[in-house]
Amino acid sequence: DAGITQSPRHKVTETGTPVTLRCHQTENHRYMYWYRQDPGHGLRLIHYSYGVKDTDKGEVSDGYSVSRSKTEDFLLTLESATSSQTSVYFCAISAGVNYGYTFGSGTRLTVV
C-alpha cells in the first residue's frame, strides 16, 4: 500500500520469545495505529500513537508494547509471545482525527 510498509510480512516464532513488528510510513502522518485481525472479531485496536513518543493503549493491549521514536516508524513488540497472539497484524496511518485510515498489507504472525 502506498506510503505505508509493514515488516516482516510473515513470521513464525516460538512461545515465550520476544517479537517486534515494524510499521514504516512515508506520508508524515501524525497518527498511527496497530490492530489485530481475527475471525469473528474483526479488527481490534492494540495501541495507537498521536505523535512521536506519544502512545496509548487500545482495547487489547495486554502482552504488547509499542514505541515511536520517529514520525515514520511505529514498532509493536510482543514481550513474550503466546499462542493467543497468533493473528494478522495491521498498521494504519491517518493524517488527522477527521481523516480516514490507510492500512498496510499486514503481518501474519504464527506463534508455535
Partner 1 sequence: QQQVKQSPQSLIVQKGGISIINCAYENTAFDYFPWYQQFPGKGPALLIAIRPDVSEKKEGRFTISFNKSAKQFSLHIMDSQPGDSATYFCAARTGGTSYGKLTFGQGTILTVHP
83 binds partner 1 (CB under 8 A): no
Which one of 62, 83, 100, 112 is in contact with partner 1 (CB under 8 A)? Answer: 100
What is the secondary structure of the chain as a DSSP string?
A: -TTEEEE-SEEEE-TT--EEEEEEESS--SEEEEEEEETTTEEEEEEEEEETTEEEE-TT-TTEEEEEEETTEEEEEESS--GGG-EEEEEEEESSTTS--EE---EEEEE-
58 binds partner 1 (CB under 8 A): yes
74 binds partner 1 (CB under 8 A): no
In the structure grid, which three cell numbers stand for residue 73, read together? 516508524
How many residues are listed for the chain in this entry? 112
Q: In the stretch 5-44, what mask flags binding to partner 1 with x, by CB under 8 A?
A: --------------------------x-x-x----xxxxx
106 binds partner 1 (CB under 8 A): yes
Judged by beta carbon, residue 14 or residue 42, the one nearer partner 1 is 42
50 binds partner 1 (CB under 8 A): yes
Q: For binding to partner 1 (CB under 8 A), which residues are involved? A: 1, 31, 33, 35, 40-45, 48, 50, 56, 58, 90, 92, 94, 96-106
